[in-house]
Amino acid sequence: MPTYTPPLRDMQFVMHEVLKVTDDFKLMKQHAETDVDTINAVLQEGGKFASEVTFPLNRVGDQEGCKLDTATHEVKTPTGFKEAYHQYVEGGWPALSCDPEYGGQGLPIVVNQAFYEMLNSANQAWTMYPGLTHGAYEALHAHGTPEQKRMYLPKLTSGEWTGTMCLTEPHCGTDLGMLRTKAEPQADGSYKLTGNKIFISAGEHDFVSNIVHLVLARLPDAPQGSKGISLFVVPKFNVNKDGSLGSRNGIWCGGLEHKMGIHGNATAQIVLDGAIGTLVGEPNKGLQAMFVMMNAARIGVGMQSLGLTEVAFQNALAYAKDRIQMRSLSGPKAKDKPADPIIVHPDVRKMLLTAKAYAEGGRALSMYCAFLIDRELHHPDEKVRKDSAEMVALLTPIVKAFITDNGHIATNACMQVFGGHGFISEWGMEQFVRDNRINMIYEGTNTVQSLDLLGRKVLGNQGATLKKFGKLVAQLVEEEGVNEKMAEFINPIAMLGDQMTKFTTELGFKAFQNPDEVGGASVDYLRVAGHLVFGYFWARMAQVALREIEAGNTDPFYQAKLQTARFYFARLFPETLSLMRTARAGVKNLLDTNEALA
């Protein structure tokens, strides 16, 4: 059976020693009293909830799945899921980073994200129920009318109600401009929605009395394409003016998807048959409103894979220390045993270190992005707010795609450490692989994220935001460039930082001549950019570790950090060389293949 220990020490390292988040919090009126001790106490309790309450249900959810009553359209979640959610609500966890005006605790987003990493390690399928709710809260908080905020936000904040996002339809996924769900205006200012949605995570369940669906649909006079999409809030039960529940709305679960993983989450087919809803934001501008939720969800999906990478690594490491198989090539290491623990073998260590490097690099990046959101929302300096918003927009597709791709690599590597035992369900490793696989697909496939990064976020503003990140790299290079002990960490990012300018310019010139070149190069490009970002944070983490060691700190944590950094730069970072070569290969060898793909 798998185990899980919350990585609190590493979270504290990133937040307090690398990012030094409380220095900025002191400048923010909303977070001025959020100190190191408060953050650590919250995460310690959050780790207990994740490891003691939701983690034991992970295998249960995978084996039982969700069950739909086709007569009532109600869904029963796996044993213990509902009770765990009630504990979650009683503990005040839904309100952690929500606005105090609606009953929230008002803690920083970065604290909430760290908590969600632990929840995802413990049980991704369960965590998606409150995770989708938080996204719905964010969208309504940003774009809801005063009446919608009054009606829905307190209940979403407390966890009394949950939320979803209803985008995908049977004939269209990412291409939302093709959606057909209709919204007919009513005399009282409401709308009646008719249509079908699929792949709706947490779309129906037995946790709460009401589910608040955010639904994309078209008004009768809407223009074609994505410019004709509006956003509506459609509750499972209509809500009376006094906040009590009214009649059952015309929105229900018509079926559950049978999936490769995340069996404990109800992925629903949603039918709307004259469902009553109200408009969120302006007509025909629903995508702008929904993107608040979608971008939050994309960072959240990165956190899902980060969580699975961490828990897979922990279990593979424990197994590798215990499992004996063959002898070390350089001679027996466990002479009192008939064979050596497999951790002595170099390739086993390579697989373990790959997962560890991707987990710790992903943690640094995702916490940085959450911290940027805190600065965007609350920093007193307008320029800092603007720069933070711009940077998080650049990094969001990298968080979503690079961390989930790495999660796929890492969970498979950790399953491989177990050999044949990894392939059977008893040890839990194959579930981590299956659960992670969806993270590369939903919230915009990783190819879509790559197109967004290269086509919109980089070439769309002539690389201006990328250059701002490049300045962060250059500052670190200038700061540590003459430090010989930092050379193995600084030289690689300095070289890649210089190469990125030429690489990006070259791809931009090709794309100007033929837009398909973006499609041919974007996936490789995102992975190069991902390594540049990871490399920057690994260099910063090595910098902190070296300074602590030089100051006489004997905590083995810092030596471990340096050893992992050395592995990352020696074994994983060099992938950028081949990626740049394949990205430069041009699109002709992909598109001039009609006979090959006939």
What average pLDDT does the chain have? Answer: 97
Q: For residue 366, what pLDDT band results from cuts at 50, 70 and 90?
A: very high
CB 113 within 8 A of CB 370: yes
Average pLDDT over residues 482-504: 97
Average pLDDT over residues 134-142: 93
pLDDT of residue 256: 98
Average pLDDT over residues 128-135: 95
pLDDT of residue 176: 86
pLDDT of residue 457: 96
Check whether domain 8-154 has CATH 1.10.540.10, yes or no: yes
Checking if the pLDDT of 292 tops 80, the result is: no
Checking if the pLDDT of 294 tops 80, the result is: no
pLDDT of residue 177: 86
- For residue 585, give the DSSP letter: T
Checking if the pLDDT of 384 tops 90, the result is: yes
Checking if the pLDDT of 78 tops 80, the result is: yes
Looking at domain 162-284, which CATH architecture does it have? Beta Barrel (2.40)
Checking if the pLDDT of 297 tops 90, the result is: no
> Which DSSP string corresponds to 471-516?
HHHHHHHHHHTT-GGGHHHHHHHHHHHHHHHHHHHHHHHHHHH-TH
Tokens read off for 14: 């990133």
Task: Report pTM.
Answer: 0.98
Q: Please give the backbone phi and psi of residue 271, each rounded to the nearest 5 degrees, phi first.
A: -105, 130
C-alpha of 375 from chain center: 19
pLDDT of residue 481: 87
Q: Which of 240-249, 296-305, 490-499 has the lowest mean pLDDT?
A: 296-305
Note the pLDDT tens digit of each residue in 551-582.
999 999 999 999 999 999 999 999 999 999 99
Note the pLDDT tens digit of each residue in 5-34.
999 999 999 999 999 999 999 999 999 999
pLDDT of residue 354: 99
Could you tell me what percent of the chain has a pLDDT over 90?
96
pLDDT of residue 230: 96
Catalytic residues: 443
pLDDT of residue 174: 84
Q: For residue 288, what pLDDT band results from cuts at 50, 70 and 90?
A: confident
Could you tell me what percent of the chain has a pLDDT over 70?
100
Note the pLDDT tens digit of each residue in 46-75.
999 999 999 999 999 999 999 999 999 999
Checking if the pLDDT of 41 tops 90, the result is: yes
> Which DSSP string corresponds to 377-427?
HH-S-HHHHHHHHHHHHHHHHHHHHHHHHHHHHHHHHHHHHTGGGGGSGGG
How far apart CA 121 and CA 320 sit, in angstroms, is 20
| Strand duo 251-256 + 267-280: pairing | antiparallel
Average pLDDT over residues 505-524: 97
Q: How many CB atoms lie within 10 A of CB 311?
A: 33
Q: Which of these, 548, 540, 559, lies nearest to 490 by C-alpha position? A: 540
Phi-psi region at 150: left, alpha or beta (left = phi > 0; alpha = psi -120 to 50): alpha
Q: Which letter, b or e, does each residue of 313-329 get, where b requires 16 or more Cβ atoms within 10 Å of its Cβ?
A: bbbbbebbeebeeebee
Tokens read off for 330: 């350089």
CB 221 within 8 A of CB 209: no
pLDDT of residue 489: 98
Q: How many CB atoms lie within 10 A of CB 71?
A: 6
Q: Which of 66-70, 172-176, 412-416 has the lowest mean pLDDT?
A: 172-176
Q: Where are the domains of the chain?
A: 8-154, 162-284, 451-598
pLDDT of residue 494: 98
Average pLDDT over residues 245-267: 98
CB 88 within 8 A of CB 19: no
Q: Which of these, 533, 260, 298, lies nearest to 400 by C-alpha position? A: 298
CB 586 within 8 A of CB 520: yes
> Which DSSP string corresponds to 303-368?
HHHHHHHHHHHHHHHHHHHH-B-S--TTS-S-TTSSS-BGGGSHHHHHHHHHHHHHHHHHHHHHHH
Average pLDDT over residues 213-228: 95
Geometric angle at alpha carbon 453, from 459 and 407, rounded to 5°: 155
Q: Which ranges constitute the DSSP H helices of 79-221?
A: 81-90, 109-143, 146-158
Q: Which residues contact 566 (CB under 8 A, 6 or more apart)?
A: 488
pLDDT of residue 287: 86
Check for a shared fold between 8-154 and 162-284.
no
CA distances 172 to 147, 169, 197, Å, are 32, 5, 10
Checking if the pLDDT of 295 tops 80, the result is: no
Q: For residue 102, what pLDDT band results from cuts at 50, 70 and 90?
A: very high
C-alpha of 498 from chain center: 29
Average pLDDT over residues 106-130: 97
